Amino acid sequence: MVSERLIGMADTAPARPVVTRFAPSPTGYLHIGGGRTALFNWLYARGRGGKFLLRIEDTDRERSTPEATEAIFRGLRWLGLDWDGETTSQFEQRHRHAEVAREMLARGSAYKCFSTQEDIEAFREAARAEGRSTLFHSPWRDADPATHPDGPYAIRMRAPRAGETVVEDAVQGTVRFRNDQLDDMVVLRSDGTPTYMLAVVVDDHDMGVTHVIRGDDHLNNAARQQMVYDAMGWEVPVWAHIPLIHGPDGKKLSKRHGAVGVEEYQIIGYPAAGMRNYLTRLGWAHGDAEFFTTDQALAWFDLPGIGRAPARLDFKKLENLCGQHMAAMEDAALLHELEAFLAASGQPGLTPPQRDLMHSALYCLKDRAKTFPELVDKARFILTARPIVADEAAARLLDPVSRGILKTLTPQLQNASWTKEALEALMTETAMAQGLSFGKLAGPLRAALAGRTVTPGVYDMMLVIGRQETIARLKDAAA
């Protein structure tokens, strides 16, 4: 099959270095679906030693804002998706676009259309009434230039009416469109500005984009854009239209599903590596691989592995993956990302002493948390100063009997060797002396040390905060 041959060629023997791009319109936050599209493009290019470019599609002057552009940058940076070279602005290329439109005019592959919006609306109105196709057929397509009025005009593509346009898509396969189903799209508006349909093609060509990986809401557009490539005699890129992401209910992702903006995920506290893993796995598979590093994703990512059906967001699985990545992360990197999380979510940062404690405690914290808020919660024993205020559940464990036991423990801790083994021996001994199981002792101990019933192991906490602080907290609790 033709499509398979194309895919094979693209994957095994690229004729030229791979160049991909992410081309968001700056009209709001970076959508999670857009984030995944960017990730796929980044993985594909970088995994092959190619280039990943960023172009801001800001030709809609009404809706484009610099704030939105900034939000896109922040979102991509958080995901760790760096792009090559300068960011390009589609709007700044408008003169080049217009030049191409005029070139198409000169080649006869486009024509001046003097129809007004009202003419077109009337045409569609009539077509609807008669049950005909509402595709606009401009009367100016074959008009004699001598009859052209001296007014504003749009430039329309002179699209072929017969035959079909075949899109070879690396994900969707061979997709055929009958040309009579496609109309003569406007490439240059009557105010002289280019339309998206023209601008993407010109920009992708000028930037040397070899693979267009984007949402499948553009699949139909590919057919029309291909006509522009053909008209200009340009090489058509490899198309890869990936399915959109849906909400947990299978419906199109929207605000009511909760987090739709990439930045919201950072604020919720997912580690970026876990986010990348999850997003890569959503709609793409490499056999049974579930948990993998970004380096592995770079090595494995390919187009044939992309699925054709829309995927639903599953926060449970996201969390699970994030938990695994947290546990696998280097302490220094984890600490760094934790601080970035605190800043991004508007929380107070760590003081230098807290930072040191956190660093030394991460070993017993990181495999207990799936998100940064969970990590912070589990780290409460090093983030709060004495006196430790016990929560309700912890307070219940500090009954008079338990407090008495804690009291007998403090002198022994004074002389104990401060290692896990020694502490363990001491605790077990103390528990037995009281006729208790160690579990009965650990509860109050934990409550005294952290004020919580959910914490890292008691020995780990004691080792992290040290002898003096441990004894002080036990005395506080026993008092």
Pick one of 18, 104, 282, 303: the residue that binds RNA (CB under 7 A): 282
Contact between 170 and RNA by CB under 7 A: the answer reads no
Binding mask 417-456 for RNA (x = CB under 7 A): -------x------------xxx--xx--x------xxxx
Total site size for RNA, rule CB under 7 A:
87
Q: Among residues 23 and 272, whose Cβ is nearest to RNA?
A: 23
Could you tell me which stretch among 42-50, 67-75, 179-187, 406-414 binds RNA (CB under 7 A)? 179-187
Kindly state the smallest distance separating residue 351's Cβ from RNA, in Å.
25
Contact between 183 and RNA by CB under 7 A: the answer reads yes
56-75 positions binding RNA, by CB under 7 A: 57, 59-60, 63
Q: Among residues 120 and 259, whose Cβ is nearest to RNA?
A: 120
Q: Which of 299, 370, 286 is nearest to 328 (CA)?
A: 370
- Crossing angle of helices 400-415 and 467-478, in 10° steps, is 160
Kindly state the smallest distance separating residue 231's Cβ from RNA, in Å.
17
Q: Work out the widest C-alpha separation in the chain, in whole angstroms.
A: 110
Contact between 391 and RNA by CB under 7 A: the answer reads no
Contact between 251 and RNA by CB under 7 A: the answer reads yes
Q: Tokens 């103390």 belong to which residue?
A: 430
Strands 88-89, 110-113: pairing kind: unpaired
Kindly state the smallest distance separating residue 88's Cβ from RNA, in Å.
13
State the catalytic residues: 255
Q: What are phi and psi of 211, to 5 degrees?
A: -130, 120
Q: Among residues 50 and 394, whose Cβ is nearest to RNA?
A: 394
77-116 positions binding RNA, by CB under 7 A: 90, 113, 115-116
Q: Among residues 168 and 469, whose Cβ is nearest to RNA?
A: 168
Could you tell me which stretch among 96-104, 172-180, 229-237, 257-265 binds RNA (CB under 7 A)? 172-180
Contact between 181 and RNA by CB under 7 A: the answer reads yes
Q: Measured on CA atoms in the order 303, 308, 310, 315, is the torsion positive or negative?
A: negative
Could you tell me which stretch among 42-50, 70-78, 286-294, 381-389 binds RNA (CB under 7 A)? 286-294
Q: Among residues 40 and 341, whose Cβ is nearest to RNA?
A: 40
Residue 435 CB neighbour total at 10 angstroms = 7
Cβ–Cβ under 8 Å, residues 223 and 177: yes
Binding mask 292-331 for RNA (x = CB under 7 A): -------------x-xxxxxx-x-xx-xx--xx--x----
Q: Among residues 50 and 369, whose Cβ is nearest to RNA?
A: 369
Contact between 217 and RNA by CB under 7 A: the answer reads yes
DSSP assignment of 191-216 equals TSPBPHHHHHHHHHHHTT--EEEEEG
Determine the Cα–Cα distance for residues 265 and 50; give it in Å rounded to an integer: 28
Could you tell me which stretch among 74-82, 133-141, 259-267, 347-355 binds RNA (CB under 7 A)? 133-141
Kindly state the smallest distance separating residue 251's Cβ from RNA, in Å.
5
324-383 positions binding RNA, by CB under 7 A: 324, 327, 367-368
Secondary structure (3-state) at 86? coil
Q: Among residues 307 and 404, whose Cβ is nearest to RNA?
A: 307
Determine the Cα–Cα distance for residues 89 and 24; give it in Å rounded to an integer: 11
Pick one of 244, 259, 328, 436: the residue that binds RNA (CB under 7 A): 244
Determine the Cα–Cα distance for residues 187 and 195; give it in Å rounded to an integer: 5
Token pair for 38: 């960017």
Q: Is there a cis peptide before residue 387, judged by omega within 30 degrees of 0?
A: yes
Determine the Cα–Cα distance for residues 357 and 352; give it in Å rounded to an integer: 9
Pick one of 7, 19, 154, 322: the residue that binds RNA (CB under 7 A): 154
Determine the Cα–Cα distance for residues 349 and 340; give it in Å rounded to an integer: 9
Q: Distances in Å between the alpha carbon of 172 and those of 195, 247, 279?
A: 26, 22, 20
Q: Tokens 């080049």 belong to which residue?
A: 96
Token pair for 178: 């009958």
Q: Which helix (H) or strand (E) holds 322?
A: helix 315-328
Kindly state the smallest distance separating residue 461's Cβ from RNA, in Å.
9
9-48 positions binding RNA, by CB under 7 A: 25
